[in-house]
Amino acid sequence: MAEAQAQQRPRNNNNNNGLPDVIGWFWSLPPVTRTWFGLAVAVNAATSLDLLPHEDLIFDWTRVIEKMELWRCITSFLYAGGQIHELHVLWALHMIAMQSSIYETNPHIAGSGSPRADYVFCLLFCCIVIIITYLLQAIYVHGYLYPLFTRTLLTSITYLWSRRNANVNVMFLFIPVQGQYLPFCHIGLALALQNPIYELLHGMLVGHLYYYLVEVVPSILGGRRVLMCPAILREIVHDIYGAQEEFRQQQNQQQAQQRPQPRNTININAEMQRRFQGEGAREAHIAAKINNLQRLQRLAMTEEGRAQFAVADNNGWQPLHEAVRGGHLDVVNLLINHHADQNAKTNHGISPLWLAEDSLGPDHPVTKRLQELGAEKHGPER
């Protein structure tokens, strides 16, 4: 798998016996990926245990319309077409967990102000287009596509990630390639194994359509978008996943309060906030420094909050400088997605790229990300 994926994937926790903490790893997945992966595991496991007949999971437009079997529009994107112990099913589940995770943290911007909502919008768009194009081929060139879309949707996400990270160096079966070639490597592997590639081509086509509409068309029209995530979807995503994250944070706080505390401890965040505000910092500076992605996402939902992403403190540091110095890749991506200045200089002339190379080194994901974006390198002014 990709070297970049290994750097960005959630870390596995270990229990006291040295065994993988599967539950901890599962909850460390980004929330939308966690939902997709959990449902996919449940559906494929239930089929393997003969709890669900596989013929009730595939897409069948006639039964959807005539018998209102609407669940087929969902299960066809979850069922991988085999027993859960089979290699192609395990590979599909692995790809959901890994490929979806890294794209969810840095999706193409769809105008919602929330990367998570943009990712949900991307999934919905791809699912709808996959179904429509499947129906069209069933009418005109019947027989090429199978009515299971898990592999197709995964290919769309892989393609979009490859366009988003075109210059990232990745490893595919121990062969170094650039990210932009990753989907074609999957096609080459399928051909080598004499597997059909129609689903892969279908997924790439759908992914390219989404990429063209959200990236290319706005650049042609001077920034005007023809495809945007609706505000109501952003609110729904926030209501669902925002509440989950807040609940988990409350649980973590309760667990922390139950642990014995050392004497003479202080509230680090409160102390940091008092000190930072004395230096002219805003809430976004503090959230970026301590890697509070959820707080920054909430700020991004309002115009006033987004304005903080470009505010400099008394030393000329913007939130992006704080995120870069801490090595917080997800925060860096969020700030860049909301038009933070990747070339902003501090009062001493330090740009984010110089800070990344100096603080994190040339091989850190944050440094590489800024380089991919074409950020300028400016060191301290003498």
Tell me if 205 sits within 8 A of 136, measured CB to CB: no
How far does CA 298 lie from the centroid of its chain? 17
When the pLDDT of each residue in the chain is averaged and rounded to a whole number, the result is 81
CA distance 77 to 134: 13
Lowest mean pLDDT among 132-136, 336-340, 378-382: 378-382
Choosing among 1.20.1540.10, 1.10.3470.10, 3.40.50.300, 3.30.1330.40, the CATH entry for 3-220 is: 1.20.1540.10
Assigned CATH topology for domain 280-382: 1.25.40
Tell me if 119 sits within 8 A of 104, measured CB to CB: yes
Token look-up 């366009």 returns 163
The SS3 call for residue 283 is: helix
pLDDT at 18: 44
At 193, list the tokens: 């194994």
Domain residue spans of the chain = 3-220, 280-382
DSSP 185-230: HHHHHHHHTT---HHHHHHHHHHHHHHIIIIIHHHHTTT--SS---
Is residue 51 pLDDT above 50, yes or no? yes
Is residue 15 pLDDT above 50, yes or no? no
pLDDT at 242: 67
CA distance 331 to 172: 27
pLDDT at 193: 85
Average pLDDT over residues 46-72: 91
Lowest mean pLDDT among 49-53, 129-133, 358-362: 358-362
How far does CA 343 lie from the centroid of its chain? 24
Partners of 20 in the beta sheet? 14
CA distance 320 to 336: 8
CA distance 232 to 153: 24
pTM: predicted TM-score of the whole model, two decimal places: 0.64
